[in-house]
Structure 1
Amino acid sequence: MARRSTLAPTVFYPAAGLILLFVLAAVIFTDSVAAVMDTLQASVISAFGWYYVVAVAAFVIFAIFVGLSRFGEITLGPDDEEPDFRLPVWFAMLFATGMGIGLVYYGVAEPLSHFVSPKPGVGGEEPALAQAAVGQTYVHWGLHAWGIYVVIGLALAYAIHRKGRPVSIRWALEPLLGDRVKGRLGDVIDVLAIFGTVFGVATSLGLGVLQVAAGLDYLDVADPSTALEMGLIAGITALAALSVASGLERGIKWLSNANMMLAGVLALSVLVLGSTLFLLREWVQSIGYYLQNVMFLTFDTLAFRGAEGLAWESDWTIFYWGWWISWAPFVGLFIARISRGRTVREFVLGTLLVPMVVTTIWFSIFGGSAIHQERAEPGSMLDPVTGAVNTDTAMFQLFEHMPGGGTWMAIAAMVLVVVFFVTSSDSGSFVVDMLSHGGDQNPPLWSRLFWAVLQGGVAAALLFAGGLQSLQTASILTALPFSVVMVGMVLSVWKALDGEYKEITRAERRLRRRELTEHVTEQVTEHVTEHFGQLTGQVPVFTRTREDDGDGAPARRRRVLPPRRRREGSDEPPSDTSG
Structure 2
Amino acid sequence: MKKVSNVFWVAAPITIVFIIWGIIPHSVLPNGNLDNVTSIVQTYLVDKFGWFYLLTATGFLIFSIYLIFSKYGNIKLGKPGDKPEYNYLTWFAMLFSAGMGIGLVFWGAAEPLSHFHSPPYGDAETSDAAKTALQYSFFHWGLHPWAIYATIALALAYFKFRKQAPGVVSAILEPLFGDHIRGRWGTLVDFIVVFATVFGVASSLGFGAIQISGGIRFLTGMDQTIVLQLIIIGIVTVLYLTSAMTGLNKGIKYLSNANLILAFLLMVFLLFAGPTTYILNLFTTSFGSYIQNLPSMSFRMTPFNEDNTTWIKDWTIFYWAWWLSWSPFVGTFIARVSRGRTIREFVLGVLLVPTIFGALWFTVFGGSAINLEYFQGANIQADVNEIGTEAALFSVLENYPFAIVMTIIAILLITTFFITSADSATFVLGMQTTNGSLYPPNIVKLIWGLLQSSAAAVLLWQGGLQALQTASIIVAFPFAFIMILVIASLIKSFRAEAKDIDLYRRR
TM-score range, shorter chain: over 0.9
The C-alpha deviation readout for 1:132-180, integer Å capped at 9, x for no partner, is 0000000100000100011101111110111111222211112222212
User: 1:244: Cα distance to partner?
Assistant: 3.1
User: 1:293: Cα distance to partner?
Assistant: 0.4
User: 1:374: Cα distance to partner?
Assistant: 1.0
Partner of 1:231: 231
Q: Structure 1 CA distance, aligned partners of 2:119 and 2:388? A: 15
CA contact (8 A) 2:202 2:456 kept: yes
CA shift in 2, pair 1:38/1:90, >3 Å: closer
Segments ≥4 residues shifted beyond 6 Å: none
Q: Which amino acid aligns with 1:486?
A: M
Q: Which structure shows the higher helix fraction?
A: 2
Stretches of structure 2 lacking an aligned partner (at least 5 in a row): none
Q: Confirm whether residue 426 of structure 1 aligns to residue 423 of structure 2.
A: yes
Q: Structure 2 CA distance, aligned partners of 1:302 and 1:66? A: 31
The C-alpha deviation readout for 1:187-237, integer Å capped at 9, x for no partner, is 111111101111221122122112112112212342123333333323322
Q: Structure 2 CA distance, aligned partners of 1:442 and 1:352? A: 27
Q: Structure 1 CA distance, aligned partners of 2:129 and 2:101? A: 27
The correspondence for 1:444, drawn from 441, 446, 449, is 441
Flag the structure with more relative contact order, 1 or 2, with Cα contacts below 8 A and sequence separation at least 6: 2
CA contact (8 A) 1:383 1:390 kept: no
CA contact (8 A) 2:150 2:347 kept: yes
Alignment of 1:502-521 (within 5 A): 502-508=499-505, 510-511=506-507
Q: Structure 1 CA distance, aligned partners of 2:333 and 2:437? A: 15
Q: Which amino acid aligns with 1:127?
A: S
CA contact (8 A) 1:49 1:318 kept: yes
The C-alpha deviation readout for 1:387-424, integer Å capped at 9, x for no partner, is 8x94110111101111x232111121111111111122
CA contact (8 A) 1:381 1:398 kept: yes
CA shift in 2, pair 1:385/1:460, >3 Å: closer
Q: Confirm whether residue 110 of structure 1 aligns to residue 111 of structure 2.
A: yes
Partner of 1:28: 24
Q: Confirm whether residue 59 of structure 1 aligns to residue 69 of structure 2.
A: no
What's the secondary structure of 1:316's corresponding residue? helix
User: 1:278: Cα distance to partner?
Assistant: 1.3
Partner of 1:149: 149
Q: Confirm whether residue 483 of structure 1 aligns to residue 484 of structure 2.
A: no
CA contact (8 A) 1:433 1:443 kept: yes
CA shift in 2, pair 1:453/1:27, >3 Å: same
User: 1:381: Cα distance to partner?
Assistant: 1.2
Stretch moving more, 319-328 or 423-432? 319-328
Partner of 1:188: 188
Q: Structure 2 CA distance, aligned partners of 1:154 and 1:57? A: 17
What's the secondary structure of 2:109's corresponding residue? helix
Q: Structure 1 CA distance, aligned partners of 2:502 and 2:125? A: 57
The correspondence for 2:456, drawn from 441, 454, 459, is 459
Q: Structure 2 CA distance, aligned partners of 1:72 and 1:474? A: 36
What's the secondary structure of 1:497's corresponding residue? helix
CA shift in 2, pair 1:79/1:16, >3 Å: same
Q: Structure 2 CA distance, aligned partners of 1:35 and 1:350? A: 41
Partner of 1:338: 337
Partner of 1:401: 399
CA contact (8 A) 2:93 2:259 kept: no
CA shift in 2, pair 1:16/1:38, >3 Å: same
CA shift in 2, pair 1:460/1:474, >3 Å: farther
Partner of 1:19: 15
CA contact (8 A) 2:113 2:381 kept: no
Partner of 1:37: 38
What's the secondary structure of 1:96's corresponding residue? helix
The C-alpha deviation readout for 1:421-479, integer Å capped at 9, x for no partner, is 11221221111112111122333222211100111122234434546643542342121
CA contact (8 A) 2:116 2:133 kept: yes
Q: Confirm whether residue 288 of structure 1 aligns to residue 292 of structure 2.
A: no
Q: Which amino acid aligns with 1:399?
A: L
Stretch moving more, 195-204 or 488-497? 195-204
CA contact (8 A) 2:244 2:251 kept: no
Partner of 2:409: 412
User: 1:285: Cα distance to partner?
Assistant: 1.3
CA shift in 2, pair 1:87/1:35, >3 Å: closer
CA shift in 2, pair 1:386/1:260, >3 Å: closer
CA shift in 2, pair 1:248/1:195, >3 Å: closer
Q: Which amino acid aligns with 1:113?
A: S
CA shift in 2, pair 1:443/1:342, >3 Å: closer
CA shift in 2, pair 1:244/1:503, >3 Å: closer
What's the secondary structure of 2:305's corresponding residue? helix
Partner of 1:375: 374
Q: Which amino acid aligns with 1:342?
A: R
Q: Structure 2 CA distance, aligned partners of 1:468 and 1:278? A: 37
Partner of 1:318: 317
CA contact (8 A) 2:102 2:208 kept: yes
User: 1:383: Cα distance to partner?
Assistant: 1.6
Partner of 1:569: none
Stretch moving more, 429-438 or 75-84? 75-84
Alignment of 1:126-165 (within 5 A): 126-165=126-165
Q: Structure 2 CA distance, aligned partners of 1:123 and 1:221? A: 36
Stretches of structure 1 lacking an aligned partner (at least 5 in a row): 512-579
Partner of 1:391: 389
CA contact (8 A) 2:139 2:290 kept: yes
CA shift in 2, pair 1:386/1:156, >3 Å: closer
User: 1:117: Cα distance to partner?
Assistant: 1.2
Give the TM-score, by structure 1 length. Answer: 0.82
Q: Which amino acid aligns with 2:15?
A: I
Give the TM-score, by structure 2 length. Answer: 0.93
CA shift in 2, pair 1:454/1:381, >3 Å: same
CA shift in 2, pair 1:444/1:79, >3 Å: closer
Aligned alpha-carbon RMSD (Å): 2.2
What's the secondary structure of 1:38's corresponding residue? helix
CA contact (8 A) 1:429 1:451 kept: yes
Stretch moving more, 10-19 or 33-42? 33-42
CA shift in 2, pair 1:337/1:33, >3 Å: closer
The size of the alignment, in residue pairs, is 502
Q: Structure 2 CA distance, aligned partners of 1:293 and 1:464? A: 42
CA contact (8 A) 2:93 2:260 kept: no
Partner of 1:360: 359
What's the secondary structure of 1:21's corresponding residue? helix
Over alpha carbons, which structure has the higher Rg?
Answer: 1
What's the secondary structure of 1:383's corresponding residue? helix
Partner of 1:556: none
What's the secondary structure of 2:294's corresponding residue? helix
Stretch moving more, 149-158 or 474-483? 474-483
CA contact (8 A) 1:123 1:129 kept: yes
CA shift in 2, pair 1:491/1:356, >3 Å: same
The C-alpha deviation readout for 1:326-385, integer Å capped at 9, x for no partner, is 221222122222222222111111111111111111111111111111101345212259
CA shift in 2, pair 1:443/1:76, >3 Å: closer
Q: Structure 2 CA distance, aligned partners of 1:210 and 1:84? A: 35
Q: Confirm whether residue 176 of structure 1 aligns to residue 187 of structure 2.
A: no
Q: Confirm whether residue 327 of structure 1 aligns to residue 326 of structure 2.
A: yes
CA contact (8 A) 2:244 2:423 kept: yes
